[in-house]
Amino acid sequence: MKRLIVKLVLPLTIFSFIIINKWWYVLVIDGADEIMYGFPLIYTCRGFGTSMSHQFFILEFLLDLLTYFLFWFIFVYLVDRFLFTIKMHKILSISLMTTSGILIGFVVYFASSQEIFFLLKRDFEIEKMETGYNFIWQEQVWPDYHDYHPGNK
């Protein structure tokens, strides 16, 4: 099982964490409307300081990453234990680990090339309006602000 953690569970965790997003359309208390990302907790959104910045909330990020890891660990464990023994071929494990390493490289490049703020946890209140899921390659469509505030038309 130790080999499966490194060769299968970690790459699946990285793939699912980076490729599948849950978005949250929220109204920031004493702020504007915003799209935030994360599952099960919000761990990133645009920065409020400058227009091209992002902010990451470390505790929520780590909890989300742990959630994805535990899901894949339990799934692989149950399949390996009760359905059939998982045997990783060398070429498959190398390709999974290489692809996940490249994805991590892109994320690190993105994080180092822009203005990023890292906060221990989110320090502002929000009011959740709408949520949804999308893949990283899909364009994010903003919900209409006036659907939630009809008096401001």
39-85 tens-digit pLDDT: 999 999 888 877 788 889 999 999 999 999 999 999 999 988 888 87
Residue whose token pair is 């505790």: 59
Tally of CB atoms within 10 A around 38: 21
**Predicted model pTM:** 0.83
Residue 22 bridge partners (DSSP): 133
Instruction: Give the separation between CA 15 and CA 149, rounded to whole angstroms.
Output: 37
Long-range contacts of 145-148 (CB under 8 A, 24+ apart): 145/33, 148/27, 148/33
- Report CA torsion sign: 38, 29, 33, 148: positive
pLDDT tens string 113-128: 778 888 899 888 888 8
- Of 40, 22, 41, which is closest to residue 131 (Cα–Cα)? 22
